[in-house]
Chains A and B, each alone.
Chain A
Amino acid sequence: MFNSLSDRLTQTFKNLRSRGRLSEADIDSTVREIRRALLDADVAVPVVREFTGAVRERALSEEVSGALNPAQQVVKIVNDELVAILGGQTRPLNLAKTPPTVIMLAGLQGAGKTTLAGKLALALKEQGHTPLLVAADLQRPNAVSQLSVVAERAGVPVFAPHPGNTSAADDPAADAPLIGDPVGVARDGVAEARTKLHDVVIVDTAGRLGIDEVLMKQASDIRDAIMPDEVLFVIDAMIGQDAVNTARAFADGVDFTGVVLSKLDGDARGGAALSVAKVTGRPIMFASTGEKLTDFEVFHPDRMASRILDMGDVLTLIEQA
C-alpha cells in the first residue's frame, strides 16, 4: 500500500532509475498519480485538469529528456508549478498612504472571519499600529458580542453601535431577512477611526453564500461605502470542490484583494489554496492556524505545495529519485 504521493512516486521512480529515461507511458502514469493526489487533496477538477496538462507538456519536453535524472526533473516541475500558482512570494498588507488603512473581511458562514479580525488586530497592534474593529455582522446571533470579546482579548477597541441579532425579537422573517444597517455601521466605523486617529480599521462582516444575491449585494454595498485598501477573503482549508464557485462569487461580489486560508492547523490537505489562487489570481496572504489569537502567520507557498501533494520534504524526494 502506498498512501502518499511521495511513496507512490518514489516507487514509480525506483523502476526508472536503472533505465534513466522516461518514456511517454512513464510520464502518463506519473501524471495519473499526480492527478489522483490532487483530487484527494480537494483541488478543484478544472484546476487539476489544467495543472496536469501543463506538467505533462513540460515533462515531455526537451527539458526532461535532456536532464541528468529525468524522474527527479518531473518532481521538480510539479513542485515549481504548484509554488508558482500559490504565489511564489507572498505580499504584505497594503497600507493606505493616508491613514486609516481600511480592511474588510468576507467569506462563507463559519469560515473564520471574526476570529481573524482579532488575530489581525493583535498582530497589527504588536507592530505599533492602533487598529479599530468594526462590528458590521448584524445577522448571525451574537456576532457583535463575539467580536467584542475577541477585541477585548486582543486589547483593541471595537466600534459596535448596533447590538445586531441578539434576542427573540431579531428572528429574521422570511420577508425581511436582513437585520439593521451594516453598511451604515461600516461607514460610521471608518469615520470613527478617522476622528479617533486609528491608523487601521478592520471591518467584520456576516458570513454569506456565493449564491445569496441579497447578502452578496449587501457585501458589495459595504465595500462601496468604505473603499477598503484590502478586502480579505477568508476560506476554510477543509473546503472541497465548492471552493471554485465560492471564490468566483466573492471575486465578482466584493472583488477581494487577498486570501486568508483558515483552520490550517487541521489535517486537511488544503487543495482549495491551489483552486482559489488559480481561478482568481489573487494572492494568498495569511494562514490561520488555530483558535487562539496568536495562531496566525504569513502564508508559505512552498510549505503548502508539499502539504497539498503530501510530498513530505520535496527536496528529500528529489534526492531519492
Chain B
Amino acid sequence: SPLGARLLEVLSRDSLTEDDWDELEEDLLLADIGAGPTTELLDSLRTRVRVLGVREPSAVRELLREELVALVGADMDRSLHLDPVLVEDGPRVPAVLLVVGVNGTGKTTTVGKLARVLVAEGKSVVLGAADTFRAAAADQLTTWGARVGVETVRSDKAGADPASVAFDAVARGRDDKADVVLVDTAGRLQNKAGLMDELGKIVRVTSKVAAPSEVLLVLDATTGQNGLTQARVFAEVAGVTGIALTKLDGTAKGGIVVQVQRELGVPVKLVGLGEGPDDLAPFDAADFVDGILG
C-alpha cells in the first residue's frame, strides 16, 4: 500500500552520508564502468540499502561487491571451444580461432600466449599471420611461434591479401591434421568501413575450410567508453564469441567490459597480465571486482 511504502521509507532512510555515496560512485567511475551504468548500479543499491536497513558503509560496500560479482560473473560459458571439427562425410578440420580488435591492444601477443597454453595441453597448433599490413607484424608472430615450436603461415610480401593468408593457414592446418589454427589479424579502428569489410572477408574466406570456432575480441584494459562501440561493431562484423581483456597488470581496471558483457552477452574469457608468454589467465569475476573496489 502507498502508506506502507511511505512508512517503510521514513523508517529505513539510509544512514550513509553523501560523501560515502560519492566515494562509491568515484570507485566505479574510476574503473571505467561508465557514468550511466554507475548511476544505475548505485540507484538500485540505495533502494536495497533502505529496504535492508544497512547502516555501515563497509556493509554497503560489501553489498555492492556482491552485486558486481553477480553482474560480471553471470552464468556464462567462458571456456574456449577448440575441439577439431568433423565435417559431415568430410575430413576432420582444425578448430579455428581468430583474434580481432583495434590497433595495439595485444592481439599478436595473445595469440603467442595462447599457442603456449595449447601446446602445453598437447595440441598441435598452426599460426596464421593475417596481419599483412603493419610493419614486421608477421615477424613478431613468427617469433612467438618459434618460442613454442609451432609453424607460422605467412606471406612473403607486405600488403598481401590477408584473407588469402588466413585461408592458407587454415588449409595448412587441415592438411597437417593440426588441432587448432590461431589466426592473427591487423588492428583496425571500428569506424573504418573498408578495414571492417576486409575483416568480414577474412571470416568468410576462412569459413570455406572451417568456420571459426572462436572469435576473440582483444580489448585493452586501459580503454575507456569507446570500448563499447568497439565491441558492438566487431561483434556485428566478425561474430565475436569472447573477450580477451589485456594489460590488466597495469593500473587500469577494465571496467568497460561490464557494459560490453551486459549489452552484447559476450563473456570475457581471458585476461592478459603481462608481456611474457605465461601472462595469460582465465577470467575470474571475483578477482576482477576486487580490482575495481580495491
- Give the interface of A toward B (CB within 8 A): 36, 39-42, 45, 108-112, 114, 139-142, 145-150, 153, 165-168, 170-172, 174, 177, 209-211, 236, 238-242, 245-246, 263, 265-269, 271-272, 291
Contacts and interface: CB of A to CB of B under 8 A. Distances in A.
B136 A210 contact: no
Contact of A109 (B102, B247, B256, B277): B247
B17 interface: no
Contacts of A265: 189, 191-192
Nearest to B106: A110
29 contacts: A45-B26, A109-B106, A141-B112, A141-B140, A145-B136, A145-B139, A146-B134, A146-B135, A146-B136, A146-B139, A167-B146, A168-B147, A171-B147, A177-B276, A209-B251, A236-B222, A241-B30, A241-B31, A242-B250, A242-B251, A245-B251, A246-B250, A263-B102, A263-B189, A265-B192, A267-B191, A267-B226, A268-B224, A268-B225
A110 B105 contact: yes
B35 interface: yes
Nearest to B31: A241
Interface in B140-174: 140, 143-144, 146-147, 149, 158
Contacts of B102: 238, 263, 266
Contact of B224 (A174, A177, A241, A263): A241
Interface string B124-136: 0000000001111
B29 A267 contact: no
Contacts of B247: 108-109, 209
B220 interface: yes
Contacts, number: 153
Contacts of A268: 224-226
Contacts of B104: 109-112, 236, 263
A170 B142 CA distance: 13
Contacts of A109: 104, 106, 247, 275
B179 interface: no
B143 A172 contact: no
Given A146-B140, A168-B147, 10 more contacts: A111-B104, A149-B136, A171-B276, A209-B251, A241-B32, A263-B104, A263-B189, A266-B189, A266-B190, A269-B225
A210 B222 contact: no
B223 A240 contact: yes
Nearest to B104: A110
Contacts of B31: 241
A50 to B, nearest CB: 14
Interface centre among A45, A111, A141, A171 (most CB of B within 10 A): A141
Interface of A is mostly: loop
A34 to B, nearest CB: 12
A145 B31 CA distance: 36
A172 B251 contact: no
Contact of B223 (A149, A238, A271): A238
Interface centre among A146, A210, A211, A238 (most CB of B within 10 A): A238
Given A42-B225, A171-B147, A211-B251, A267 B190 contact: yes
B43 interface: no
B281 to A, nearest CB: 15
Nearest to B138: A142
A110 B220 contact: yes
Interface centre among A111, A172, A268 (most CB of B within 10 A): A268
Contacts of A36: 35
A291 B143 contact: no
A238 B224 contact: yes
Contacts of B144: 141
B133 A291 contact: yes
Contacts of B26: 45
A167 B36 CA distance: 46
Contact of B143 (A165, A241, A271): A165
B116 to A, nearest CB: 10
B207 interface: no
Contacts of A148: 136
B103 interface: yes
Contacts of B47: none
B229 interface: yes
Interface in B40-78: none
Interface centre among A109, A210, A263, A269 (most CB of B within 10 A): A109
B175 interface: no
B4 to A, nearest CB: 33
B252 interface: yes
A5 to B, nearest CB: 12
Contact of A45 (B29, B220, B223): B29
Contacts of B105: 110
